[in-house]
Amino acid sequence: MFSSCSGLERSEREKIRKRNCKGETIYRNQRDRFFAIANPIHTQRPLYPWESETNIPRITKDFFRCKGNSIHEPIASLGDPILDCDGGNRHGLPIIQGQEGVYPILISQLNYIQKKTGKRVIITSGHRCPSHNTYVDPSVENRTSKHQIGAEVDFYVQGMEDRPQEIVALLMHYYQETPQYQNQKEYQTFTRYDKGDARVTIQPWMNKEIYIKINQKDEGRNFDNRHPHPYITIQVRYDTQKNERVVYDWQKANKGYSRG
């Protein structure tokens, strides 16, 4: 059985609705008052929690652990295939000044960059054990890389990937602001490295303690630096605590770290 409302019932309801509707005209009052609206002022939006400096993790020696991994495919060569290491979970960092880690200036400078920019530093290559160092770049020039002795780091700054020269300027300014370097010209003054073995288009900079190099998007590519960004390399040239030059040493590179 079907039932429905008739059209007559609907029309009756509409008549009742119209009868009950009331309206009145709105007239302007002569005492109307108008208030001036101030011009809008631009305000900086608050940072999201993940953008706040307090949410950027402080860089420690653990950020520099070797990025080797035994699941990486072997690299074919004229001799035996080149195998990667088991990574930083299976071996330690270099022993420097009696402790496992990297040269302190590298940690201090990267934390300084994070503090000044409010952005995260991404370390793409910190310590490399000899096996991983050969795996990422088997060239002859790379055999004496200071990555193996904890005296070199490759990195870029998240959100400033295409502005590496601004980061280099901050690395230099570090020496102007840090008290221990005050009135020490050999640290505060940077010169350009003019030899032809840097393999980069932008001339590197150096002072007594560090050497800074910018690798463009098509420079310095290896298995640790497969990202599409320019990146910065810092090498340690001088140990301020021992008052001696920092140079590659086979014994330190191959025997100077613990194995799990």
Beta strands in the chain (DSSP E): 91-96, 99-100, 121-125, 152-157, 191-192, 205-206, 210-215, 231-236, 238-239, 244-245, 257-259
What CA–CA distance (Å, rounded) separates 48 from 87? 34
pLDDT value at residue 45 = 83
pLDDT in tens, the chain (260 residues): 555 556 677 888 888 888 888 777 777 777 777 788 889 888 888 877 666 666 789 999 999 999 999 999 999 877 889 999 999 888 999 999 889 999 999 999 999 999 999 999 999 999 999 999 999 999 999 999 999 999 999 999 999 999 999 999 999 999 999 999 999 999 999 999 999 889 999 999 999 999 999 999 999 999 999 999 999 999 999 999 999 999 999 999 999 998 87
pLDDT at residue 187 in the model: 97
**pLDDT attached to residue 5:** 56
Return the pLDDT at 3.
56
pLDDT at 65: 97
- Dist CA 226 CA 23 (whole Å): 73
CA distance 187 to 204: 16
Other residues' Cβ atoms within 10 Å of the Cβ of residue 156: 23
Find, among 195, 182, 229, 188, the residue nearest to 210 by Cα.
188
Q: Which residue has the tokens 């590496």?
A: 164
Q: Which residue reads 């098509």 in tokens?
A: 218
Distance CA 118, CA 53 (A): 5
Report pTM: 0.79
CA 117 – CA 237 distance, rounded (Å) = 25
Strands laid side by side in the 121-125 sheet: 121-125, 152-157, 231-236, 210-215, 205-206, 191-192
- What pLDDT score was predicted for residue 248? 97
- Give the three-class secondary structure for 18: helix
Cβ pair 96, 103 in contact under 8 A: yes
- What is the CA angle 131-133-139, rounded to 5? 110
- pLDDT in the model for residue 19: 83
